[in-house]
Structure 1
Amino acid sequence: MTTMPVLYLSHGAPPLADDRRWTRQLADWSAALPKPRSILMVSAHWEEAPVSVSATTPVPLVHDFWGFPKRYYDVTYAAPGAPELAASVAKLLDAPGRPVHQHADRGLDHGAYVPLVEMYPEADVPVLQLSLPTLDPATLVGLGRRLAPLREEGVLIVGSGFTTHNLAAFNPSLGPDYDPPSWSTEFDAWAAETMARRDLDALVDFLDKAPAGHLAHPRTEHFAPLFVSLGAAGDAAEVDSVVDGFWFGLSKRSWQLG
């Protein structure tokens, strides 16, 4: 079985699915990948400790957003459950007194299903979502390293966040294609260069090492999934920046590792 790469993608809000360039990039990206046996999604929108997994039987999606037109709430994604993957995750992550918790009714949130609708529109690959048990980068790298053996089982591990994410500075009245602010472009350029040279120490310390780190991520949950992906990929993984550009001033940069 092919060892799967690891992804980190910027998923955006549901209207990012209206960006034809982004949807084409995701479709082309998935077409170039080996077909995964199953997918493990780590989304910025599920923080829970101890580490938890989503339902392994079909349940409704989590429409965890407000104020959008009805059509965004009508989206469905009926991917098969992934009980075998849930069992493998539990085997890798269970610790004495801290077993992996399974939520029987927790569906996929928009950080998971919005990109998957574009990447695997047939919804024919089993999907499981994993919670972020912490936002500490070093701890999440360690979590990813424990998940790394799943790649040998044909599992595509996907961290789903946003390379810059400051909604306080978000101005939808300007439209999706306005010139991004300097804090977003500076952080994006730093992240691209730092990922290219695989400087894990600098990435872990991004709030202090990156230009405009605190402006790009006033709260760090949208960058946190990257560290799970970095850990799962391993220190020697090749890094390919697959998606770039900005949407409403926020960086869509996304990487393939390994």
Structure 2
Amino acid sequence: MSAPSTTLPAIFLAHGSPGLIWPKEIPRRPPAPGEVGGPLGPHRKFLETYGPHILEKYQPKAIVVFSAHWETKDAIQVMDNEENELLYDYYNFPEQLYNLHFKSKGSSKISSRVVELLTKNGIKAEKLHNGRGLDHGVFVPFLLMFPNDFNIPIIEVSIDASLDPEKHLDIGKALAPLRDENVLIISGGLTIHTFQDGDAWNPLTASPGYLDFENQIKSGVTHAAFERNEKLLKVTTHPFYRKAHPRVEHFIPIYIAAGAGSREGDKASVVSDLHGAITIEFGV
């Protein structure tokens, strides 16, 4: 195993959907040409290789993870679990998807550090002790990325229900010191998330506006840190932003990762440019 990087990145991770782990014994239509998701698609293959890669390269002592599927209003909540259960926060799926197992633990020390950093920067935060399990925005990709009996602590943190991009940049900036403490920050969402346009999910059927929207994201992250954040904020004015995100909770996590990886000299790298499922490392 190679020596770990001294400063870890913050990752905006395309977390996918439960379709990525669809039970093999249940019939499913053949994947359409160009389809990214599903149990046979390129997104699953990416996650299966990316997880071992980041464990070997970065060797984190803990993972702090944000999910588009957990919003809180009055304060940012930070899980403080001895053992992480799973929260099956989806409906009308096969029974097998409610009997999944991913064993992991929390870390009260890391949870306290997250609350400390947020509070120090004027962001109200509190620990939630054994009050919630990891939602599918975390356990679906992690089942594919990491060993089932995972010995690295996982601490899930909520996003703010305001869904304000600048506030989430500030959340990321507040947590940037974790990167120097061998803690990996993963912020999960998607670059396209709409149920109003079924064609949007496939690059072969999506309107060119969706492709241009994602190109603007990829172009924006090539800039230096301050300008990069400004470019990512400007993405919200793109005419297809609200078509790609009728509700923006799946895009907002990008700002946490961008904020955490926006110190002077921090670069960003698109590590997967799959349509609708771009993954970016900030602070490399």
Shift of residue 164, structure 1, vs aligned partner: 1.1
Correspondences of 1:82-93 after superposition (within 5 Å) = 82-93=107-118
Question: Aligned residue for 1:206?
Answer: 235
Secondary structure in structure 2 of the residue aligned to 1:253: strand
Match 1:151 to one of 179, 186, 189: 179
Is 1:78 matched up with 2:107? no
Q: 1:190 to 1:201 in 2, by over 3 A?
A: same
Alignment partner, residue 270 of structure 2: 241
Distance in 1, Cα, partners of 2:67 & 2:84 = 17
Once residues 240 and 99 of structure 1 are traced to their aligned partners in structure 2, the CA distance between those partners, rounded to angstroms, is 30
Match of 1:14 in 2: 18
Which amino acid in structure 1 is aligned with residue 8 of structure 2?
Answer: M
Name the residue aligned to 1:42: 66
Change (3 A) 1:222 1:237: same
Whether the 8 Å contact between 2:199 and 2:206 is mirrored in structure 1 is no
CA distance in 2, matches of 1:10, 1:26: 9
Given that residues 41 and 128 in structure 1 are in contact (C-alpha distance below 8 angstroms), is that contact kept between their aligned partners in structure 2?
yes
Aligned length: 251
Distance in 1, matches of 2:196 and 2:20, equals: 18
Structure 1 residue 66, shift from structure 2 partner: 0.9
Change (3 A) 1:117 1:204: same
Q: Aligned partner of 2:147: which letter?
A: P
Q: Which amino acid aligns with 2:10?
A: V
Structure 2 CA distance, aligned partners of 1:75 and 1:183?
37
Structure-2 change in CA distance of 1:148 and 1:83 (3 Å): same
Cα pair 1:145 1:233 within 8 Å, conserved: yes
1:26: Cα distance to partner? 1.9
Superposed displacement of residue 200, structure 1: 1.5
* AA partner of residue 26 (structure 1): L
2:196 corresponding residue in structure 1: 168
Measure, in 2, the Cα distance between the counterparts of 1:136 and 1:215. 18
Partner of 2:88: 63
CA distance in structure 1 between the partners assigned to 2:79 and 2:207 by the alignment: 36
Are residue 53 (structure 1) and residue 78 (structure 2) matched? yes
Match of 1:191 in 2: 217
Taking a change above 3 Å as real, the CA distance of residues 103 and 177 of structure 1, as seen in their structure-2 partners, is: farther
Gaps of 5+ in 1: none
Q: 1:20 to 1:166 in 2, by over 3 A?
A: closer
Alignment partners' CA distance in 1, 2:83 and 2:268: 34
| 1:211, distance to aligned residue in structure 2 (A) | 4.1
Unaligned 5+ segments in structure 2 are 22-38
Q: Any idea what the Cα deviations from partners look like across 1:101-122, whole Å, max 9, x if unmatched?
A: 4242211101111111122124
Question: Partners in 2 of 1:54 and 1:230 — Cα distance?
Answer: 22
Structure 1 139/13 Cα, relative in aligned 2: closer, same or farther at 3 Å? same
C-alpha distance in 2, partners of 1:19/1:53? 34
- Partners in 2 of 1:207 and 1:98 — Cα distance? 25
- The SS at the match of 1:196 is coil
TM-score, normalised on structure 2?
Answer: 0.81
1:112 counterpart = 2:112: no
Q: Deviations over 1:44-83 (max 9, x none)?
A: 0000030001242224311111111122222221111121
